Structure 1
Amino acid sequence: MRAHDAHPDGHDQSRPAHGHAGHTHGVSENADSRLLSGALGLIVAFMAGEVAVGVVARSLALISDAAHMLTDAASIVLALVAMRLAAKPPRGGYTYGLKRAEILSAQANGLSLLLLSAWLTYEAIRRLVSPPQVTGGLVLATALVGIVVNVGATWLISRADRTSLNVEGAFRHILTDAYAFIATAVAGLVMMVTGFARADAIASLVVVVLMVKAGLGLVRESGRIFLEAAPAGVSPEQVGRALAGRPYVTEVHDLHIWQITAGMTAASAHVLVAPGEDCHAVRADLEAVLAESYEITHTTLQVDHNPDPLLSIGPRPEDHCGDSHGPVHRPGPERAPGA
């Protein structure tokens, strides 16, 4: 079964409905770029100073924060590049354009967090075993400035369009760093008051935990999109039952739900309609259900009449598509919510 073949009886061909309600931006892409660029300037300026202070103070916590801020800066640069690529119109073989460049950026951000956390874990454990002398006062002062800088950068990015996984990835980087600076400030205070040098390495391990959590989240969410999985919180089984329970629908199969990019969900399906009913009206009803109940506005539905077994000679209805994929949904008392 091919999604764009007309049915021999001429009733209804598949017709995509390309609404974009689920992928609108709260602010313009130019505004997003300006907000991210402002956050990038703050981070790069502070990062350079933090590296210098970290070397002087011999603080792994400060250096680990600076390393995290380097990934923050890289994540914002990636986000800016990906936004430009995603804004390019579709052409050639790229029928959706380069919208998934944003997802590549999000996945790169997640992987960078995980790789950096592995190195910092090794260094922190080494310093727990043999702690160097760390200047707690410098650590505390730098961390307090870092908190202010990160709060400012976080505020800027929070005003951008966070429905984009690309922007959300950059936001998580910065927010994680703000929490990390709080841990570093606590470590600096502990070292000043008690002289407990291992507090620096312990603060680094706190940073690592936050980085791993953020990194795994980005890799998991971007991976779902690359693997064509349904969006989190959307059950294809539930959607199939809801569609099959609509008036005059006798069967729904080949139902696929996936994300083109964050905030842009698409669906396709083959729908069989009771003999003699209006296929066009049924399709419009199903498109409305998908849009209103599941926020799926990019749809391609092939709608055909279910052959009347008493009048037709040929394949049985269940053999309508020889290469059908996935479960078949039919109406029934237990399978027709919303009917």
Structure 2
Amino acid sequence: MSEGHDHAPHNHAGPAHGARVTAGSERRIRTVLIMTAGYAAVQAVGGWLSGSLALIADAGHMVSDAAALLLALIAYRVAARAPDAVRTYGFHRLRVLAALANGASLLLLVAWIAWEAVSRLREPSEVLAGPMLVVAAIGLAINIIGALILRRGDQGDSNLRGAMLHVLGDLLGSVGAIGAAIGIMLTGWTLLDPILSVLVAVLVVRSAWGLVSESIRVLLQAVPRGLDARAAEADLATLPGIAEAGHFHAWTLTDESSVATVHVVPEAGADPLALPALVASRLRERYAIDHVTTQVDPPGALVAGKH
């Protein structure tokens, strides 16, 4: 490939690596962490005393959320560290790892809820609907407050989105527990508790899988969503002064930053030093790629690099 040859100039264009980690996002997650951890203890005790699977499952969900939020806070602190000679892109990918852990933990919890629900369906157990309703109502209020706090933050932040999904999952869990409690009070049918727990789990799993799949996509350095790499490469070849473009690669660095590399061949008489800025400008304006590395090759190098 042409990268192995001496091709000059090789130039970078675009802002510094990395995305900002806002103090506001960190503060919001810290507040919701305290609320979540505190209520998880209350809910666990309430679920145990009332015999409610919906409350126990939601308490486990809250504990999982508290751990995930703590991981997100740690990721924020580490991600804020400046790049060094070894990690030249900085530590922002830790935020993606934290988002992946959030989604994965939520999927594991959904599997546990489903398992417990099947056991309860086979062997129904007594549920005290009154205490269950009170605890679930308190949980609903706390989750609504937490969701409002996170919703006002930067929704481009994958960790904030992950925290939001966890809180929404908790909110749905509280709604399910309230519905189960009211149904049991009216009908005495305790099977409503595990049934509604499964319904809540189904609603949560879709969002959790979306978070996991998007994190994996970023870690595998797939092209940013909505970008057609071949079309972008062909578009660059139409720029004035460029005869050919090839070896185009693009990937997401962080929530707010995309990176691309490309090789171009200048037209006869064109100034090769002007091409990197031209390429960077096109990719930034048309494809929202903010960091571009352009290598200018001599005629014939791109064809040779394909073999």
- The two structures have a TM-score, normalised by structure 2, of 0.93
Q: Does 1:19 align with 2:8?
A: no
Could you say what secondary structure the match of 2:221 adopts?
coil
Could you say what secondary structure the match of 1:259 adopts?
strand
Q: Does 1:77 align with 2:70?
A: yes
- Measure how far apart 1:134 and its partner are: 0.8
Q: After superposition, where does 1:297-312 map in structure 2 within 5 Å?
A: 297-306=290-299
Match for residue 181 of structure 2?
188
The more displaced of 232-241 and 62-71 is 232-241
Match for residue 86 of structure 1?
79
Return closer, same or farther for 1:24/1:206 CA change in 2, 3 Å cut-off.
same
Distance 2:4 2:142 in 1: 53
Work out the number of aligned pairs and report it.
307
Q: String of CA shifts for 1:129-174, please: whole Å, max 9, x gaps.
A: 2211111222222221111101111122222322121221111111
- Matching residue's letter, 1:77: L
Distance 2:88 2:158 in 1: 21
Could you say what secondary structure the match of 2:207 adopts?
helix
Distance 2:301 2:288 in 1: 30
- Matching residue's letter, 1:243: L
Could you say what secondary structure the match of 1:258 adopts?
strand
Contact 2:28 2:153 in 1 (8 A): yes
Q: Does 1:290 align with 2:274?
A: no
Distance 2:177 2:226 in 1: 36
Q: Which has the larger radius of gyration?
A: 1
Q: 1:143 aligns with which of 129, 136, 141?
A: 136
Q: String of CA shifts for 1:72-116, please: whole Å, max 9, x gaps.
A: 111110110001111101113111111111111111111111111
- Matching residue's letter, 1:141: V
Q: Counting helix residues as a fraction of each chain, which structure ranks higher?
A: 2
Return closer, same or farther for 1:249/1:68 CA change in 2, 3 Å cut-off.
same
Could you say what secondary structure the match of 1:247 adopts?
coil
Could you say what secondary structure the match of 2:62 adopts?
helix
Could you say what secondary structure the match of 1:163 adopts?
coil
Q: Does 1:55 align with 2:42?
A: no
Contact 1:113 1:212 in 2 (8 A): yes
Q: Does 1:319 align with 2:303?
A: yes
Could you say what secondary structure the match of 1:49 adopts?
helix
For structure 2, the residue ranges without an aligned partner over 5 or more in a row are none
Match for residue 155 of structure 2?
162
Distance 1:244 1:145 in 2: 61
Return closer, same or farther for 1:289/1:4 CA change in 2, 3 Å cut-off.
farther
For structure 1, the residue ranges without an aligned partner over 5 or more in a row are 307-315, 324-339
Contact 1:187 1:199 in 2 (8 A): yes
Q: 2:120 aligns with which of 103, 121, 127?
A: 127
Q: String of CA shifts for 1:282-336, please: whole Å, max 9, x gaps.
A: 3322211111111101110112353xxxxxxxxx45534267xxxxxxxxxxxxx
Distance 1:254 1:100 in 2: 24
Distance 1:187 1:3 in 2: 63
Return closer, same or farther for 1:24/1:94 CA change in 2, 3 Å cut-off.
closer
Distance 1:18 1:3 in 2: 21
- Measure how far apart 1:191 and its partner are: 0.8
Contact 1:4 1:13 in 2 (8 A): no
Q: 1:259 aligns with which of 252, 255, 277?
A: 252
Q: Does 1:199 align with 2:184?
A: no
Distance 2:4 2:156 in 1: 31
Match for residue 206 of structure 2?
213
Distance 2:151 2:6 in 1: 47
Contact 1:257 1:265 in 2 (8 A): yes
Contact 1:31 1:160 in 2 (8 A): yes
Could you say what secondary structure the match of 1:234 adopts?
coil
Return closer, same or farther for 1:43/1:109 CA change in 2, 3 Å cut-off.
same
CA RMSD across the alignment: 2.1
Distance 1:318 1:36 in 2: 48
- Matching residue's letter, 1:163: G
Could you say what secondary structure the match of 2:251 adopts?
strand
Distance 1:133 1:31 in 2: 45
Contact 1:17 1:300 in 2 (8 A): yes
- The two structures have a TM-score, normalised by structure 1, of 0.85
Q: Does 1:179 align with 2:172?
A: yes
